[in-house]
Amino acid sequence: MSLGSTITGIGVHVPEGQLANSELAARLSVSEEWIFGRTGISSRHVVDESESSSSLGVVAARHALDHAGLKPADVDMIIVATISPDMQFPATASLIQHALGAGNAAAFDLGAGCSGFLFALAQAKAIAESGSARRVLVVGADVLSRYVDRTDARSSILFGDGAGAAVVEAIDAPTEIG
């Protein structure tokens, strides 16, 4: 029998702070309608000084683990997709691993911009189906509000902060014949 994989738990977390189009419109000298018409966004979540990619990721990860009925010690690997790490070293995945108490899990970051979480899921699937790790926690977390040019109407209207997580588990998959 070969291995397949499935998502057994998901979790999300966004900071309480919000930045509404009305505030952006006033700052950028554009209308709220102009912003909404280009983005479909009316408000975005933003962190305060005490929050980071890892702190958002930890909460999303805990929700995903709870949803999957798992404890941090059950996780074999943690992959974090981020382009706004807390610091260059150690990896945000290592910070999340430590905060969760998942000391037995391998941990690494994957940076691929907007598609990072999808690439991380693909990696988790491949790792689980190879038998290298039975349970892989995937976290996507970014705090882009700290990096966006607040004077640029083309980009500052797009980005907010938040995190999502998924638990990918290996499952027995029947082998197809013929």
**Residue 178 scores a pLDDT above 60:** no
Hey, how many other C-beta atoms are within 10 angstroms of the C-beta on 100?
Answer: 22
- Phi then psi for residue 99, to 5 deg, are -65, -35
Give residue 94's pLDDT band: very low, low, confident or very high (50, 70, 90). very high
Judged against a pLDDT cut of 60, whether residue 63 lies above it is answered with: yes
Q: Which domains are seen in the chain, by residue range?
A: 2-16+52-173 (3.40.47.10)
Q: Do the bridges between strand 135-143 and strand 161-173 make them parallel or antiparallel, or are there none, so unpaired?
A: antiparallel
Q: What is the pTM of this model?
A: 0.95
Neighbouring residues of 29: CB distance < 8 A, sequence distance ≥ 6 = none
Q: Is the peptide bond before 90 cis (omega within 30 degrees of 0)?
A: yes
Residue 173 is predicted with a pLDDT of 83
Calpha distance 16→32 (Å, rounded): 21
Closest by CA position to 19, among listed 52, 41, 49 = 41
Which amino acid makes up residue 151? T
Q: Which tokens in the block code for residue 110?
A: 């994957």
Residue 2 pLDDT class (50, 70, 90 cuts): confident
Dig out the tokens for 9 from the structure.
């738990």
